[in-house]
A and B are shown apart, each in its own frame.
Chain A
């Protein structure tokens, strides 16, 4: 009895204490690990849900904005030859029209031919006949001379289907179960909307005679206030504002087999401007949060590894269907980016216009 009591008072040996501590530590660490992972999962879940809700909101907004809009194939032809050296301040590109081209942008000249060139412009003239302040040989192309032909000059932002197979500077999208060869970067869309030119007196009247009055809400009012404008034009365009790399995530984001790509995260911005008066300031309005993914220096590139290009906007003027494909980027788990693909299709109820080409 005395022996037993002595034994119970002996306490624990160092080995016993060490083992107990080790087991307890492992148990506590496991619990902490589980709790931390649960927290991360919760954050990732919330982040993804928020991103999806934003996408739905953006899709609805695009539909509301565009459903009554009138699209345009933004293109023109050269009316005077241009040499390879024409660039910088004072340089101009004379064309049949600049209607529908945004105040600044990039042109695709001689697309589908050996002398294909991307030309950036920084201004439009009053008569809608000239692009000014040119930067030549952009986007990996070489500055070359171009003669007057019937070849279309396109706004690079817009992607439009082309007949036959895609050329070297063109892409192929997978749309509605079929391949669609297209030209352009697919980062924007140019259009007009019905406007009430009389201004907000009484009920809105969007008719000019028997036809809708087309235009945009521009900063043409007093002191740059927003006002309906019959010579106004709209464009939705992708605008990058930050960069991410596959290296920082250790992940092949676009599933192309490497982890060396760089991407841009950006948002859609609506621009409105006056086509006849360059002094009217361009109005810019963000259409949603900055969470849209694009590969840097490769607009419209394949982002889901299916072997087809993924232009943000693809405008089929014949069917009047604008297909919008959004790749939404969310920072879910620290080591694992979350990407959601949202496909939106908008049928523009009003016929597109072939005027001013």
Chain B
């Protein structure tokens, strides 16, 4: 049997009375509020978002720090390299007409006075057991190979111009010296190392 409310133009079709009823139902739903599950889920989603952003920021900061450290390391190594080249020039000048000291002796004396015990770089923490972050290795053994030195600089080589590359100590008569500048420090992303080999030219 069809309800009298369903006739064409009746209250159901016109929505008369039903709007009020639906409104009551909506009000009931609204008054119900959020369930604990809904609130928990929202907070979890929100927290995940915030934590992701925080994590990204921390990662970016670590990368920035790494970039900063690399820049400082590059500058520090360049400074040492430039100073060593200046020492080589000074040694060339000092031995000009001096028969007592050779260029190699003079250079090694100047360079080891400055960097014999390594060098400090502000803001860098030396590795465990090391006194300084930076170190300078003066190679006076011309028979050492690149593999021995763990660098690529064309060793072994005749450093004292005696026609061979087998002398074990050329610290008195070298005309050319390989020098390896190393920087090793504890950074935010673990241990870092930079190795910079250079040649210094005598007379």
B54 / chain A contacts, CB cutoff of 8 Å: 34, 38
User: Which of A11, A42, A45, A347 is the one whose CB lies under 8 Å from B83?
Assistant: A347
- Is there contact, CB below 8 Å, between A12 and B33? yes
Which residues between 329 and 354 of chain A lie within 8 Å of chain B, taking CB atoms? 340, 342-347, 349
Answer yes or no: B50 CB below 8 A from chain A CBs. Answer: yes
A346 to B81, CA, bound (A): 9
B114 / chain A contacts, CB cutoff of 8 Å: 176
- Is there contact, CB below 8 Å, between A345 and B78? yes
A296 / chain B contacts, CB cutoff of 8 Å: none
Answer yes or no: B40 CB below 8 A from chain A CBs. Answer: no
- Is there contact, CB below 8 Å, between A347 and B75? no
A245 to B32, CA, bound (A): 58
- Is there contact, CB below 8 Å, between A34 and B83? no
Given that A41-B61, A42-B60 are known contacts, is A343 also in contact with B75, CB under 8 Å in the complex?
yes
User: Which of B31, B68, B86 is the one whose CB lies under 8 Å from A9?
Assistant: B31
- Nearest residue, chain B, Cβ from A320: B86
Answer yes or no: A321 CB below 8 A from chain B CBs. Answer: yes
CB distance from B84 to the nearest CB of A (A): 9
Answer yes or no: A2 CB below 8 A from chain B CBs. Answer: no
A52 to B67, CA, bound (A): 9
Answer yes or no: A35 CB below 8 A from chain B CBs. Answer: yes
A49 / chain B contacts, CB cutoff of 8 Å: 64, 67-68
Answer yes or no: A106 CB below 8 A from chain B CBs. Answer: no
CB distance from B117 to the nearest CB of A (A): 11
- Is there contact, CB below 8 Å, between B78 and A319? no
A349 to B83, CA, bound (A): 11
Answer yes or no: A284 CB below 8 A from chain B CBs. Answer: no
A343 to B68, CA, bound (A): 13
Q: Which of B64, B68, B83, B86 has the most CB of A within 10 A?
A: B86
Given that A9-B31, A31-B46 are known contacts, is A52 also in contact with B71, CB under 8 Å in the complex?
yes
Answer yes or no: A59 CB below 8 A from chain B CBs. Answer: yes
Answer yes or no: B89 CB below 8 A from chain A CBs. Answer: yes
User: Which of A31, A45, A347 is the one whose CB lies under 8 Å from B60?
Assistant: A45
- Is there contact, CB below 8 Å, between A319 and B31? no
- Is there contact, CB below 8 Å, between B90 and A319? yes
CB distance from A236 to the nearest CB of B (A): 17
Task: Give the number of residues in B that approach A within 8 Å (Cβ atoms).
Answer: 26
CB distance from A137 to the nearest CB of B (A): 39
A12 / chain B contacts, CB cutoff of 8 Å: 31, 33
CB distance from B114 to the nearest CB of A (A): 8
CB distance from A206 to the nearest CB of B (A): 20
Answer yes or no: A283 CB below 8 A from chain B CBs. Answer: no
A9 to B29, CA, bound (A): 9
Cβ contacts A139-180/B at 8 Å (1 or 0 each):
000000000000000000000000000000000000010000
Given that A56-B74, A176-B83 are known contacts, is A38 also in contact with B61, CB under 8 Å in the complex?
no
Given that A45-B60, A56-B74 are known contacts, is A347 also in contact with B82, CB under 8 Å in the complex?
yes
- Is there contact, CB below 8 Å, between B78 and A52? no
Which residues between 120 and 166 of chain B lie within 8 Å of chain A, taking CB atoms? none
Answer yes or no: A235 CB below 8 A from chain B CBs. Answer: no
Given that A31-B50, A52-B67, A320-B86 are known contacts, is A42 also in contact with B78, CB under 8 Å in the complex?
no
Answer yes or no: B26 CB below 8 A from chain A CBs. Answer: no
A211 to B9, CA, bound (A): 111
A349 / chain B contacts, CB cutoff of 8 Å: 85, 89
Which residues between 67 and 101 of chain B lie within 8 Å of chain A, taking CB atoms? 67-68, 71, 74-75, 78-79, 82-83, 85-86, 89-90
- Is there contact, CB below 8 Å, between B53 and A38? yes
- Is there contact, CB below 8 Å, between A320 and B89? yes
B53 / chain A contacts, CB cutoff of 8 Å: 34-35, 38
- Is there contact, CB below 8 Å, between A59 and B75? yes
- Is there contact, CB below 8 Å, between A344 and B79? yes
* Interchain residue pairs with CB less than 8 A apart (13): A12-B33, A34-B53, A38-B57, A41-B57, A42-B60, A45-B64, A48-B64, A49-B64, A55-B71, A319-B90, A321-B82, A321-B83, A345-B82
Residues of A at under 8 Å CB distance from B? 8-9, 11-12, 31, 34-35, 38, 41-42, 45, 48-49, 52-53, 55-56, 59, 63, 176, 319-321, 340, 342-347, 349
**A59-B78, A319-B90, A340-B68 known; 15 other A-B pairs, CB under 8 Å?**
A31-B50, A38-B54, A42-B57, A45-B64, A49-B64, A53-B71, A56-B71, A56-B75, A63-B78, A320-B89, A342-B71, A343-B79, A345-B82, A347-B85, A347-B86
| Interchain residue pairs A-B with the least CB separation, the first 9 | A347-B82, A345-B79, A347-B86, A345-B82, A347-B85, A11-B31, A45-B64, A319-B86, A49-B64
